[in-house]
Amino acid sequence: MCGIVGYVGVNQAAPILLEGLSKLEYRGYDSAGIAVREGKEDPVVVKAKGRLRVLADKTDNGKAVHGTCGIGHTRWATHGAPSESNAHPHVSNDRSVTAVHNGIFENYQEIRDKLLRNGYTFYSQTDTEAAVNLIDYYYKKYKMGPIDAIAKTMVRVRGSYALAVMFRDYPGEIYIARKDAPLIVGAGTDGNYIASDVPAILQHTRTVYYPDNLMMGRITADTIEFYDLNGDLVKLDPVEIQWDASAAEKGGYEHFMMKEIHEQPRAVADTIRSYLKGDPDKEDALLSVDLGKIGITDEMLKGLKEICIVGCGSAYHVGVTNQYVFEDLVKIPVRVELASEYRYRKPVLDPETLVIIISQSGETADSLAALRISKEHGLKTLAIVNVVGSSIAREADYVLQTYAGPEIAVATTKAYSTQLIGCYLLAIGFAVSRGTMQAHEESELLHELLTIPAKIQKILEDKERIQWFAAKFANAHDVFFIGRGIDYGICLEGSLKMKEISYIHSEAYAAGELKHGTISLIEDGTLVIGVLTQSELYEKTLSNLVEVKSRGAYLMGLTMSGNFDIEDTVNFAVFVPKTDEHFANSLAVIPLQLLGYYIAVSKGLDVDKPRNLAKSVTVE
């Protein structure tokens, strides 16, 4: 979605803004703009439709725009088509106020009408222009300072927003406000920064403030202040970001997605090791899950009646797989919900339900809403989140942080893998606490879990086989993924990876469902990928593969080493190392990520920024 960067300090702002925006390109956008001012002069606003490169060319990489205070934006069109006039920054009628905005002002039409009645005019179709003029209206009508004018606007608007605002009368100052959309402030040595996401400013500082919801801020070259809605000063403590700048670079890989696929052994290992008690490097150590680290007590778990896992997209798929894992290990009812459905469905849940919200970004609008609704119903909430300081991480009762590091490619890989690990750890810890698993079984499972990173590495070393197979199917029209149980969860993710980056239509089916309709779509040469990692279900899914083969399907079979007889049935077999079957997803998903990636590359597609998609979906 949209990106925001701001800088005020001693250096020329425009190159810093453009460089920061380039770090947010992965989020998806269709136009960009900057507003930069020198001292008391009016801001110079430059915008361009299309890639950031166009804006960089227009401004000689920012060098042609003078001034040390500025705000920049990459826009993902919501209100009004992608165009230069709809691009941000937007300015008020007499240019007193200039602002950029992420999010949506839902009642913007009402605000426009009010402003039209008061003599304002509009040059764009955006909701943002309405809000900028509303700030201007209050600022002048009530002769308020910037903070009070913004606060009054915040009370009047509905929706979600991260705003960065400059006032003509306040040179060298940037004002910010946020509600349900991320915005951070970075403290630098040569000035201060604002951004909608950490990678944009990581090159300059790792000392970051996370303003709370409905908070405002005033940023100058050497001061950072925060205010609540009453206009009172609020003290915030900075957080040191552990990610280093190179984590947001491609590091020699052609695409972020490939780099992130290769980071999985590290990301998975870091996440496992962060929640273990006992020495993970000693073969005979008694290992256990450190639930205390997330504040979960035996007492809280004893009373638990149900678990409800909520997420969107891949995070939801992590939930589907782990429904099987939790039910099998913890023997507790588990339901899995799409956040966008859950939030509007009035689900009937036992008061002793734990709601687990899974989110990489911690800002997905539907997942955040699901979390808030759960809390309103008095349910306990636990978030599995990658981004520290994100809204979901701050608002959940308990947080299990994943250690994927910054994920730049739109299609998730390493964050997904660490979310799986987060769930396994919870399931094992819960099982011991509730008496459905013995301590020695826990330790054995955890030792096995510790072997997963090396096994992922082994799969990655054989990636050329998948590359070869991908080349054969780059022109496929439809692909079907079939599996049962945990394998169905794997199929859902494999299918999403395929369609989102290679634009090939694909569907995931619980293998037993094929006969109930979908099998009529199988034609000569249709690629069907069977996932068969669960020994109890192996023969069942194999029979489903035979059924589609006899209708002309071309078969790829994905299973664990040892099931060599699969080669009698399928045309192309992929084996992943053996592991405990609860953890099979962590290995089987790797060849499917590679398959989606290589097909997209062989079609010459923009792998890291697939069309119509954004990295973090902060609007409904």
By annotation, the residues acting in catalysis are 2, 615
Q: Which pair of structure tokens corresponds to residue 513?
A: 């469902």
Closest by Cα among 278, 181, 176, 285 to 234: 176
Query: Shortest approach of ligand F6R to residue 388 CB, angstroms?
Result: 14
Number of residues that bind ligand F6R (CB under 6 A): 15
Residue of minimal Cβ distance to ligand F6R: 313
- Binder among 2, 48, 312, 491 for ligand F6R (CB under 6 A): 312
Q: Give the nearer residue to ligand F6R in terms of CB position, either 529 or 617.
A: 617
Q: Does 495 bind ligand F6R (CB under 6 A)?
A: no
Fill in the per-residue mask, 119 to 138: x = in contact with ligand F6R (CB under 6 A), - = not in contact: --------------------
CB atoms < 10 A from the CB of 63, how many?
12
| Three-state DSSP string of 45-113 | EEEEECCHHHHHHHCCCCCCCCCCEEEEEEECCCCCCCCCCCCCCEECCCCCEEEEEEEEECCHHHHHH
Give the C-alpha separation, 373 to 340, whole Å.
12
Asked if residues 191 and 170 have their Cβ atoms less than 8 Å apart, the reply is no
Query: Shortest approach of ligand F6R to residue 365 CB, angstroms?
Result: 9
247 Rama class: left (phi>0) / alpha (psi -120 to 50) / beta? alpha
| Three-state DSSP string of 151-204 | HHHHHHCCEEEEEEEEECCCCCCEEEEEECCCCEEEECCCEEEEECCHHHCCCC
Query: Shortest approach of ligand F6R to residue 412 CB, angstroms?
Result: 4
Q: Does 360 bind ligand F6R (CB under 6 A)?
A: yes
Give the C-alpha separation, 124 to 619, whole Å.
21
Give the C-alpha separation, 281 to 279, whole Å.
5
Q: Does 364 bind ligand F6R (CB under 6 A)?
A: yes
Q: Give the nearer residue to ligand F6R in terms of CB position, either 218 or 615.
A: 615
- Binder among 70, 146, 313, 485 for ligand F6R (CB under 6 A): 313
- Positive or negative, the CA dihedral 356, 357, 361, 363 is negative
498 to each of 415, 444, 473, 548, 589, how far by Cα in Å?
17, 35, 11, 20, 12
Q: Does 271 bind ligand F6R (CB under 6 A)?
A: no
Query: Shortest approach of ligand F6R to residue 214 CB, angstroms?
Result: 22
Query: Shortest approach of ligand F6R to residue 361 CB, angstroms?
Result: 3
Report the amino acid identity of residue 249: E
The span of 157-165, 175-183, 268-276, 361-369 binding ligand F6R (CB under 6 A) equals 361-369
Q: Does 315 bind ligand F6R (CB under 6 A)?
A: yes
Give the C-alpha separation, 606 to 610, whole Å.
6
Query: Shortest approach of ligand F6R to residue 370 CB, angstroms?
Result: 10
The span of 137-145, 151-159, 175-183, 309-317 binding ligand F6R (CB under 6 A) equals 309-317
CB atoms < 10 A from the CB of 454, how many?
11
Q: Give the nearer residue to ligand F6R in terms of CB position, either 402 or 579.
A: 402
Q: Give the nearer residue to ligand F6R in terms of CB position, either 336 or 553.
A: 336
Give the C-alpha separation, 320 to 311, whole Å.
10
Q: Give the nearer residue to ligand F6R in terms of CB position, either 96 or 390.
A: 390
The span of 92-100, 306-314, 450-458, 538-546 binding ligand F6R (CB under 6 A) equals 306-314
Query: Shortest approach of ligand F6R to residue 500 CB, angstroms?
Result: 6
Q: Give the nearer residue to ligand F6R in terms of CB position, either 367 or 586.
A: 367
The strand pair at 44-49 and 334-338 is best described as unpaired
23 to each of 5, 26, 193, how far by Cα in Å?
10, 7, 14
Q: Does 412 bind ligand F6R (CB under 6 A)?
A: yes
Q: Give the nearer residue to ligand F6R in terms of CB position, either 59 or 616.
A: 616
- Positive or negative, the CA dihedral 324, 330, 333, 336 is negative
The span of 31-39, 102-110, 355-363, 470-478 binding ligand F6R (CB under 6 A) equals 355-363
Q: Give the nearer residue to ligand F6R in terms of CB position, either 336 or 437.
A: 336
Q: Does 318 bind ligand F6R (CB under 6 A)?
A: no
- Binder among 496, 508, 514, 574 for ligand F6R (CB under 6 A): 496
Asked if residues 3 and 73 have their Cβ atoms less than 8 Å apart, the reply is yes
Cis omega (within 30 of 0) on the bond before 347?
no
Residue with tokens 């979960």: 296
Q: Does 411 bind ligand F6R (CB under 6 A)?
A: yes
Q: Does 367 bind ligand F6R (CB under 6 A)?
A: yes
Instruction: List binders of ligand F6R among 27-86 (CB under 6 A).
Output: none
Q: Does 180 bind ligand F6R (CB under 6 A)?
A: no
Query: Shortest approach of ligand F6R to residue 359 CB, angstroms?
Result: 3
Query: Shortest approach of ligand F6R to residue 248 CB, angstroms?
Result: 16
Give the C-alpha separation, 507 to 511, whole Å.
11
Q: Give the nearer residue to ligand F6R in terms of CB position, either 146 or 596.
A: 596
Starting at the edge strand that comes first in sequence, how are the strands of the sheet with 215-219 ordered?
Answer: 90-91, 97-105, 159-167, 174-179, 215-219, 224-227, 233-234
Q: Give the nearer residue to ligand F6R in terms of CB position, either 455 or 615.
A: 615
> How many degrees, rounded to 5, is the angle at CA 606 between CA 617 and CA 250?
85
The span of 210-218, 360-368, 424-432, 592-600 binding ligand F6R (CB under 6 A) equals 360-368
Q: Does 431 bind ligand F6R (CB under 6 A)?
A: no
Q: Does 257 bind ligand F6R (CB under 6 A)?
A: no
Residue 50 buriedness (CB in 10 A; 0-12 / 13-18 / 19+): middle
Asked if residues 87 and 49 have their Cβ atoms less than 8 Å apart, the reply is yes
- Binder among 56, 97, 164, 617 for ligand F6R (CB under 6 A): 617
- Binder among 264, 321, 533, 616 for ligand F6R (CB under 6 A): 616
Asked if residues 5 and 193 have their Cβ atoms less than 8 Å apart, the reply is yes
Give the C-alpha separation, 399 to 422, whole Å.
10
Q: Does 361 bind ligand F6R (CB under 6 A)?
A: yes
Residues making contact with ligand F6R (CB under 6 A): 312-315, 359-361, 364, 367, 411-412, 496, 500, 616-617
